[in-house]
Structure 1
Amino acid sequence: MTTAAQVEWIVTSFSARAALSHPAFCGFDRAHLGDLIEEVAGPWAAQRESVLQERRGHDRQRAAGAGPNHQLVFVDRVLITLVYLWLQLPHAALAELYGVTRPAVTRAIHEIRPLLARRGFAVPQRPGARLHTLADVFAYAEAEGVDLRVDGTEVQVRRPRAGRAGRKAFVSGRKKQNTAKTTTISDSSGRLLWAGADRPGRMLGSRSAVAV
């Protein structure tokens, strides 16, 4: 029997999905978003099954889909990751939208980002072309005469655990908070070409970093 809390969670998730699938939040029109979700679904399922099999130590004994329900289904995991990359919303804010915990959002982003990175970033008006690293971006800009806009967006993060090496590097001298910086590069029209090179808030970005 569905409880009132479960109904409220379902409604909250549906409302959040409807809002975040708008291009203003995720950066994709809905047709393109559907294609992206379909493309990433297979690799995500294979990656997840590999992790589960390694954890179990043997092949699956129950039918696919059996077991506890996820707080965030695959589509919502993709949306959350895209919105985070596009707008740099804090994990806590995305968790509030879906009515889930912050760690659930963090896990979702950590699952989906590597899949998007392997897929690469699309090049405007160049179907099939993909940019995977900063070197790809600068080579494309030089070859095509494209002016690049580089931004090191700084986002507040949870304080790293005690004893972690480099913990103090997360304390931003400008914001006086624990932050992380994600380097984003766009063309002169503001179209995103690459995002990655995550670094602690006190550190500067680097051209030598690879996409994550």
Structure 2
Amino acid sequence: MLEFVQNAGPVMIWLIVAGFVFCECAFIIGLFLPGDSLLLTAGLAMATTGHSAMSVWGLAVAAFIAAIVGNHVGYGIGVKMGDHVLAKQDGRYLNANNLHRVKHLMDRHGFFSVLIARWIPWVRTLCPLVAGAVGMDKRTFTVASVLGSLIWAPFLLLIGYYASTALEEYKWVLQWALRGMVVMLIAGTIVGIVGYRREMSKPNVTVDLED
């Protein structure tokens, strides 16, 4: 894994991280993806394998854009669904209770709910969908989405990078930490995909968000 990160060009790494972030913000599968762990691991990996600060900042910009675009795709899907959103009967995350909890969060906090959602994994994915479904003002959503994306994806990635850079003299510790984080990330992704397939196999139920 270390050799892959070291030998991979910046564009390849950008595509992997940005694609992961986009999916987490845009589609239901994002409910099951470890996005926070990916960003921290990517920052640590790039520091440990000698990528330049410019490359890391480029990745931060790519992740920032991917988060914004992903949010708007999720919002668009919500607009098409309208007030009646499909959920899963006895679903772990995509259930009526969680959709109503996100709706309640948006009713209470509006603009700030989109900012808060960035830091709550399953809410991060459902928030754009619900915002579109209930007709949240698109301009308000866009501004909140941009600010939320800025304080989430680049922040976590750069924290991973600069925290690792500050500990350069303990490279052996960083390398073992990176190996552990990569193992947990891969395991989390596999478990997430299995969980997603299990969730999608459950019967659909229609949730009226206006209830």
**TM-score after normalising by structure 2:** 0.24
**TM-score after normalising by structure 1:** 0.24
More strand by share: 1
For the pair shown, which has the larger CA radius of gyration, 1 or 2? 1
